[in-house]
Structure 1
């Protein structure tokens, strides 16, 4: 297997991205409207701003993605970077895809002088948390939502 290539999405990635996006949504047991998916893909390709995204390519196929935003903070001068979605195909796991995506995001956050990079995951997401525990530190915050 070759090295993981991290790059921005291009139009020809649509089929691979849709399959990954569906896998991601299935993992989190959620349904996303088609119009939301179409809007997201359009924004990812536009290059006009947020959300930003990276594609992870392995052996010529897109096998993972990271979608992220920069957001102002009330306690930091510079923005924070929120990694909203991170996913690698089942077949690509264990090949450094997640780590490569996070490292690319860290580099972009550094270019934007972001005060921090943060993300959420389910407590039960043990496989991903093994990686997260190596590349970041867990905080004490608990998420509430309406």
Structure 2
């Protein structure tokens, strides 16, 4: 079996990133508009933006994505890294792709001098939680949100 390679996105990667992004949206039963998707892609590529994206490759096949965002925290001196999106296509599941993507974010956060990496998942995402419980600590916090329109 070939090893998993994680690499930052490049501008030419939009057409291989988009199917994974759509798969992620299907998994979470959301439909993010094309306008937001295109703006998000531009942000990933802009050097002044705190948003980052990487792809997981097995050979020539793209099998996963991860998105992260750096931001200030009132609790630490250095930025926090929010691992916002993580998705592994069905062909990459069970091969260590999810873990490799998270480890990539950990390494990137260390290079950026971040204080910590954190993320959220749905309570019903049992497969992912099995991995997350092995490589991170649960915060004990409950996530609330209110859309502002």
The normalised TM-score by structure 1 is: 0.94
- Find the aligned partners of 1:85 and 1:22 in 2 and give their Cα distance: 12
Once the two structures are overlaid, the 10-residue window that deviates more, 55-64 or 114-123, is: 55-64
- Find the aligned partners of 2:114 and 2:24 in 1 and give their Cα distance: 26
Residue in structure 2 matched with residue 77 of structure 1 by the alignment: 77
Q: How does 1:2-21 map to 2 (within 5 A)?
A: 2-21=2-21
Which structure 2 residue ranges, 5 or more long, are not aligned? none
Residue in structure 2 matched with residue 141 of structure 1 by the alignment: 141
Deviation for aligned residue 1:111: 1.2
- Find the aligned partners of 1:39 and 1:128 in 2 and give their Cα distance: 28
CA RMSD in angstroms, aligned pairs only: 1.2
Q: How does 1:55-74 map to 2 (within 5 A)?
A: 55-74=55-74
Residue in structure 2 matched with residue 112 of structure 1 by the alignment: 112
Aligned residues, how many?
146
Q: Secondary structure at the match of 1:55?
A: strand
- Find the aligned partners of 1:53 and 1:81 in 2 and give their Cα distance: 12
Deviation for aligned residue 1:44: 2.0
Residue in structure 2 matched with residue 124 of structure 1 by the alignment: 124
Deviation for aligned residue 1:51: 1.1
The normalised TM-score by structure 2 is: 0.93
Change (3 A) 1:140 1:83: same
Q: Secondary structure at the match of 2:57?
A: strand
Give per-residue Cα distances to partners, 1:68-121, cap 9 Å, x unaligned.
011111111111110000011011001111111111110111112211100000
Once the two structures are overlaid, the 10-residue window that deviates more, 11-20 or 33-42, is: 11-20
